[in-house]
Amino acid sequence: MPPQHASPGSGGDRTTRPGADEELIAALRRGEADAFRMLVEEHGPFLTRLALMHVPSRAIAEEVVQDTWLAALNGLDRFEGRSSLRTWLASIVLNKARTQGQRERRVLPFSFLARRRAEGRNEPAVDPDRFQSGRDQQPGAWARPPVEWASPEERLSSDEARRVLLEAIAELPPRQREVITLRDVSGLSAAETCNALDLTETNQRVLLHRARSKVRAALERHFQAEDPSR
């Protein structure tokens, strides 16, 4: 059985318009407002989501996104087409949002800083208590294995599950939050994500794995609370 690649869903912020970037950029250089409007429609929601990871309000996120567009327009000549336009815009908005977020950080609660420090530590994907220890019969085997979720598709698309997902993402350390938002929420490839965040492939995968593991654990806790008999 070959590994099934995680396939991004149909919703979200993603776009599939290969080859269209160059044409749109040429139209921008000619000053065509329609081309800009199209780009805003296509990438605006994605950029807003990325900005919101680092700044505390929608109003600030919208300012960061506007600054991003202006920086991109003024830097069109620096866009080399080696990455996609979307990846390039993502790296600009993230730089601006991180900087803006640092300015706001003076007033952020202690828990934020604690999460930031936790990022570098060795974090197991699953609580070690759920596995048998060296004293048991089969060390490293499940002691408390996960149980299949009942009707997962239905339950995972509920408003309640979406709230759990968004909260779990918000709780992640910043780099993990960026990687899971780019890869799994917005559907960027591993290569695009490495490009936008200037990460090595290995680092990207470690951050993504930690992030996904925590989000899965949050869903598991949520479903267990909903259905304690299982």
Partner 1 sequence: MTETLIPEMSCQELVELVTAYLDGALPAADVTRLEHHLEGCDGCRAYIDQMRQTIAALGHLPPESLTAEARERLMGAFAAWRDEGRGR
Contact residues for partner 1, defined by CB under 8 A = 1, 3-13, 31, 33, 36-37, 40-41, 44-46, 48-49, 52, 62, 65-66, 69-70, 73-74, 124-126, 128, 131, 139-142, 145-149, 152-153, 156-157, 161-162, 165-166, 180, 184-185, 187, 190, 201, 205, 208-209, 212-213, 215-216, 219-220
User: What is the torsional sign of CA 185, 188, 193, 196?
Assistant: negative
Nearest CB to partner 1, comparing residues 113 and 125: 125
Would you say 26 or 70 has its CB closer to partner 1?
70
Write down the least CB distance from residue 5 to partner 1, Å: 6
**Which residue, 79 or 131, has its beta carbon nearer to partner 1?**
131
CB-wise, 114 or 125, nearer to partner 1?
Answer: 125
In the complex, the smallest distance separating the C-beta of residue 110 from partner 1, rounded to whole angstroms, is 28
Task: Kindly state the smallest distance separating residue 180's Cβ from partner 1, in Å.
Answer: 7
End-to-end distance of the chain based on CA atoms, in angstroms?
A: 30
Q: If you write DSSP's letter for every residue of the chain in order, what string do you get?
A: -PPPP----SSTT----TTHHHHHHHHHHTT-HHHHHHHHHHHHHHHHHHHHTTSS-HHHHHHHHHHHHHHHHHTGGG--SSS-HHHHHHHHHHHHHHHHHHHHHTTS-HHHHHHHHHTTS---SS-GGGB--TTSSSTTSBSS---PPSSHHHHHTSHHHHHHHHHHHHHS-HHHHHHHIIIIIT---HHHHHHHHT--HHHHHHHHHHHHHHHHHHHHHHHHHH-TT-
**Among residues 18 and 128, whose Cβ is nearest to partner 1?**
128
* Residue 81: CB minimum distance to partner 1, A: 21
We find the least distance from the C-beta atom of residue 98 to partner 1, in angstroms, to be 18
Q: Output 10 or 107, the one with its CB closest to partner 1.
A: 10
Instruction: Give least dist CB 113 to partner 1, A.
Output: 26
